[in-house]
Amino acid sequence: MSLPLPDRRGVLRGSLAASAALTLPMALGSAPAFARSGRPKAGWGVQTGDVTTDSGLVWVRSDRPARMIVETSATESFRRTHRWHGPLLGPGTDFTGTTRLHGLPAGEQIHYRVLLADPDDPRRTGEPVAGTFRTASARRRDGVRFLWSGDLAGQGWGINPDFGGYRIYDAMARLDPDFFLCSGDNIYADGPIESSVTLPDGSVWRNVTTEEKSKVAETLAEFRGAFRYNLLDANLRRFNAQVPSIVQWDDHEVLNNWYPGEILTDARYTEKNVDVLAARAWRAFSEYFPVSTLRRPSGRVHRVVHHGPLLDVFVLDMRSYRNANSPGTQPTDPQGILGAEQLAWLKRELSRSRAVWKVIASDMPLGLVVPDTGDGRPDVEAVAQGDPGAPLGRELQIAELLRFVKHRRITGTVWLTADVHHTSAQHYRPERAAFDDFEPFWEFVSGPLNAGAFPATRLDGTFGPERVFLKAPTVSNVSPAGGYQFFGEVEIDGGSGELTVRLREADGTVLFTKVLQPGRVGQ
């Protein structure tokens, strides 16, 4: 299927969109000379994150110690530039670094290039790497369009050059969204990548392999290598240079179904303390993504990204503050899946928001039963535990939040998630629910990006979900070659304020569309 070309958003073309190379050579005019032998190189591309109306973060990785410099311009020619001096990149951050740009014009295309300078001789710079992004518009009439998905390089399905690599990113780039929300499982630190896998039809899936991805990640170097692995894919590097991201994490950035305080019995691990593994994973995550809250001393994943008058994105962290996985039948549960502090933060920020739409970016679904049976226990990994009755366990915290939204008359809440490796749309109504002190709302599921696809999980009736749309395989761990790879699109019309959700396949084909009206508590 051919996707429509962008209209007002179709600014990025030319050398940036056409090049599949690791770096993007371009004429520099008065900029420093091109790279020569012994100068720093940025072979992992560039990416931007947490872009607002007037700010954004730019990321890069060097191959050696270097000073990060960012130049921005209103045009691709870079005739007039503004220079931003970034951090010194060294082994302490695996030679990665992020520079915050501020005071940017709202609703404009920003062209940038990253230069890496020799710390001992600032005149010696490497070849620049170019990118672009749009700041959020301060004008409602301009509208917003973004994509979301999750789950990359899971279940042993890595970068397959014969398949075209992570080609879903090219389909997403053709839609030219304002940003991409990655809903977690950016890597599979617990999933080694083998050189080849034989498919059910006898054909062979061939992976790009690296030393760090040959085993489960335990050391900091191995976690860093898992993040670098994805950046070997040219589709992803091109996408990162064109589309800013909002990134959250889930379990596979550390290991499957983990929770704080867990002690492993998995024989593949010599380090059994999950808190130790999580600390190393967190450090690598903070090094490899441009996330605004990670720049703070008390860095954290949960945050609000303000995207103009139409949209606030509430990024949750359902991993770092949860209690231990259990059957989820306890009658009281103040810690839950968010932790008391994060729940208070979320309620406070939702009540403060004046955006027309409040997207709640949840790294796990609410009403889908996600089991955790790794040790043969009947535990649950997400919120729902399968009992359709009154809220128990982690459901109590979600019930408290839904009640708060209703009684505070908070309008325009929509839940987006990934995690379960299929795509679906669930509508929650109190008339169908055991707990009924809430207003109706929608939850949309997408993914995976490039991972095994799995059958749909069953619904829990506590909050009255109805599965309005579903596409999932009937067998487990279907490879990307077998289909069932998905992403979602959200478009907010600047005139009417209507929010349209489209669930799409990997080639961009639209599977399901739902239009929601603004100004309502519930839908």
Tell me the three-class secondary structure of 436-465, residue by residue: CCCCCEEEEECCCCECCECCCCCECHHHCE
Is residue 285 packed enough to be buried (19+ CB in 10 Å), middle (13-18) or exposed (0-12)? buried
Which residues, 6+ apart, have CB-to-CB distance to 481 below 8 Å? 160, 163, 199, 203, 205
How far apart are alpha carbons 437 and 521 in whole angstroms? Answer: 13
Which residues, 6+ apart, have CB-to-CB distance to 125 below 8 Å? 32, 33, 35, 39, 40, 69, 115, 116, 117, 118
* Residue in 135, 126, 14 with CA at minimum distance from that of residue 72: 135
How far apart are alpha carbons 21 and 234 in whole angstroms? Answer: 7
CA 134 and chain centroid, separation: 18
DSSP per position, 335-388: STTT-HHHHHHHHHHHHH--SSEEEEE-SS-SSB--EE-TTS--EESSS--S--
- What pLDDT, on a 0 to 100 scale, did the predictor assign at position 378? 86
Residue whose pair of structure tokens reads 């839950």 in the numeric block:
336
- What pLDDT, on a 0 to 100 scale, did the predictor assign at position 149? 98
Could you tell me the sign of the dihedral formed by the alpha carbons of 257, 367, 488, 168, in that order?
positive
Q: How many CB atoms lie within 10 A of CB 275?
A: 13
* Residue in 12, 126, 151 with CA at minimum distance from that of residue 60: 126
Could you tell me the sign of the dihedral formed by the alpha carbons of 423, 343, 287, 307, in that order?
positive
pTM of the entire predicted model: 0.92
- What pLDDT, on a 0 to 100 scale, did the predictor assign at position 10? 40
How far apart are alpha carbons 302 and 295 in whole angstroms? Answer: 13
Residue whose pair of structure tokens reads 């749909």 in the numeric block:
456
Strands 357-361 and 245-247: unpaired
Tell me the two tokens of residue 307.
Answer: 């995207």
* Residue in 424, 344, 420 with CA at minimum distance from that of residue 381: 420
Residue whose pair of structure tokens reads 């001393």 in the numeric block:
297
Q: Beta-strand (E) ranges in 391-440?
A: 413-417, 423-428
How far apart are alpha carbons 291 and 51 in whole angstroms? Answer: 10
- What pLDDT, on a 0 to 100 scale, did the predictor assign at position 34? 39
How far apart are alpha carbons 236 and 223 in whole angstroms? Answer: 19
Contact 430, 134 (CB under 8 A): no
- What pLDDT, on a 0 to 100 scale, did the predictor assign at position 37? 56
Query: What does each C-alpha distance from 58 to 237, 238, 291 come to in angstroms?
Result: 14, 15, 10
How far apart are alpha carbons 404 and 350 in whole angstroms? Answer: 10
Q: How many CB atoms lie within 10 A of CB 35?
A: 19
- The conformation of residue 397, written as its DSSP 8-state character, comes to H
The pLDDT tens digits along the chain (523 residues) read: 333 333 434 433 333 433 333 333 333 233 344 344 589 999 999 999 999 999 999 999 999 999 999 999 999 999 899 999 999 999 999 999 999 999 999 999 999 999 999 999 988 999 999 999 999 999 999 999 999 999 999 999 999 999 999 999 999 999 999 999 999 999 999 999 999 999 999 999 999 999 999 999 999 999 999 999 999 999 999 999 999 999 999 999 999 999 999 999 999 999 999 999 999 999 999 999 999 988 776 789 999 999 999 999 999 999 999 999 999 999 999 999 999 999 999 999 999 999 999 999 999 999 999 999 877 778 999 999 999 999 999 999 999 999 999 999 999 999 999 999 999 999 999 999 999 999 999 999 999 999 999 999 999 999 999 999 999 999 999 999 999 999 999 999 999 999 999 999 999 999 999 999 999 998 7
Contact 308, 362 (CB under 8 A): no
* Residue in 343, 438, 445, 331 with CA at minimum distance from that of residue 389: 331
Contact 145, 492 (CB under 8 A): yes
For residue 285, the SS3 value is helix
Contact 427, 329 (CB under 8 A): no
Residue 67, strand partner residues = 88, 117
Q: What angle do CA 129, 134, 137 make, to 5 degrees?
A: 160
How far apart are alpha carbons 517 and 412 in whole angstroms? Answer: 8
Tell me the two tokens of residue 141.
Answer: 């009439």
Contact 417, 441 (CB under 8 A): no
Helix, strand, coil percentages for the chain (3-state, nearest 5)? 20, 30, 55
How far apart are alpha carbons 258 and 372 in whole angstroms? Answer: 10
Strands 311-315 and 204-206: unpaired
Tell me the two tokens of residue 284.
Answer: 């690598």
- What pLDDT, on a 0 to 100 scale, did the predictor assign at position 374? 72
Contact 380, 462 (CB under 8 A): no
